[in-house]
Amino acid sequence: MDIYQALSFLKEHQPLPNDQEVDIEDIRSLDEARKYFIENPYPECIPLFLNVFGKGSGFGVYQFIEDVIMQFNNKEVVPHLVKSLQSDHQGVRYWSAQIASSFPDKRLIEPLSSMVIEKDSDLRWAAYMALEEIRDKSVFSILKSALQNEKEPENYEMLEDIIENYELFD
């Protein structure tokens, strides 16, 4: 795969279908594009990777896309994360929140705070984890408010731990 094939594939799959509908060949092509950009970092691939995620795990490939994104700095990544965290596509929001944990930045507070009221508990969990990395007083109040509304026991426990760590931080 070369740069043109990799970019073309990514542009055509914004996002990929969910795991139940995706063609396994598309997953293989995604993995090839991922490997290409690990060897050949190219900032223009950042928004394409952040918006490629379908709902699900991409048969294990999605978790490794972070390896591509981690090659870049906050200045290059965060503006694209701000947008992808607000995507209409659940998979894009979920995986973008996962990646946001590695790029703590105050610009992510607003889109992540919108995710703490999502119906899907996995989306909320990912948002909590990303917010935990951003050391800002406004995050503390967002998380305290989320704790009052969280009904999922595992998420509730995790939020309690995050809030306790935040209190130790202050």
Give the DSSP letter string of the chain: --HHHHHHHHHH-SSPPPTTT--HHHHHHHHHHHHHHHHS--GGGHHHHHT---SS-GGGTHHHHHHHHTTS-HHHHHHHHHHHTT-S-HHHHHHHHHHHTTS--GGGHHHHHHHTT-SSHHHHHHHHHHHHTS--HHHHHHHHHHHHH---HHHHHHHHHHHHHHHHH-
**Cβ neighbours, 10 Å, residue 50:** 25
Domains of the chain: 3-135 (1.25.10.10)
Q: 100, exposed or middle or buried, with CB in 10 Å at 0-12, 13-18, 19+? A: buried
Cis bond before residue 153 (omega within 30° of 0): no
Helices 24-39 and 3-12, interaxial angle, to 10°? 130
pLDDT in tens, 114-155: 999 999 999 999 999 999 999 899 999 999 999 999 999 999
Closest to 48 in 3D by CA, of 77, 73, 19, 26: 77
- Res 149: pLDDT: 95
Name the stretches of the chain with pLDDT < 70: 169-170
pTM, entire model: 0.96
Side-chain half-sphere CA neighbours of 9 within 13 A:
20
